[in-house]
Structure 1
Amino acid sequence: MQVDFLELIGLAAGCCTTAAFFPQVLHTWRTRSVADLSLRMYLLLTLGVLMWLIYGVATGSLAVTLANAVTLVLAVSILVMKLVYGKPSRKAFDHRPK
């Protein structure tokens, strides 16, 4: 299996853009804070990454496929944390005097 120079650039680019998600995933996991994360942005991003993954598989691009497979896992994990940790607590709706 021979990998050409452009594929190596694609793999390096994929590593950089995929690695950019790790700090957000770790920060969100540790703090459970998702208030400043945009749900719409992560929904669109996840959809886009899924389509890039399909494109990478369909075209046989190793760089596009690998980068987007890992990025999809990270983006989905952030999206899931946004949905789970972002649910308002019952206390937020309880306006009864104490």
Structure 2
Amino acid sequence: MIALNTCIGAIAAICTTVAFVPQVIKSWRTRDLSGISLPMYTIFTIGVILWLVYGLLIRDWPVIIANAITALLAGVVLLLKLKSIAQC
């Protein structure tokens, strides 16, 4: 049986990860990233990567999976933002 704290962590991980999907879809489709803050997404992506490293160190699968996916999603938005700045 899975421990309650692992279940709560998994549900929280799913919620926070899925929350990024609409932003990625909108950014990808419209290529309008004018409302996206480059410093915020840079700091956030670094933070998520550090959470991923932390999850790996403590071997906590909800932390690992959620942050790996969130890092990918936030990284896509960050790269689109950098690309839009480079084209200006």
TM, length-normalised to structure 2: 0.94
Between Structure 1 and Structure 2, the one with more helix by share is 2
Which letter does structure 1 place at the counterpart of 2:69?
A: V
- Is 2:50 aligned against 1:58? no
Show structure 1 runs of 5+ residues with no match.
90-98
Instruction: Give the C-alpha shift of residue 77 in structure 1.
Output: 0.4
1:10-49 deviations in Å (ceiling 9; x for gaps): 0100000000000000000111001110000000000000
- Is 2:1 aligned against 1:17? no
The match for 2:45 is 46
**How much is the aligned-residue C-alpha RMSD, in angstroms?**
1.1
Instruction: Give the C-alpha shift of residue 87 in structure 1.
Output: 3.0
Bigger radius of gyration among the two: 1
| SS of aligned partner of 2:74 | helix
Instruction: Give the C-alpha shift of residue 88 in structure 1.
Output: 4.2
Aligned pairs, number: 88
How far apart are the structure 1 equivalents of 2:85 and 2:70? 21
Show structure 2 runs of 5+ residues with no match.
none
Q: Percent identity, aligned pairs only?
A: 41
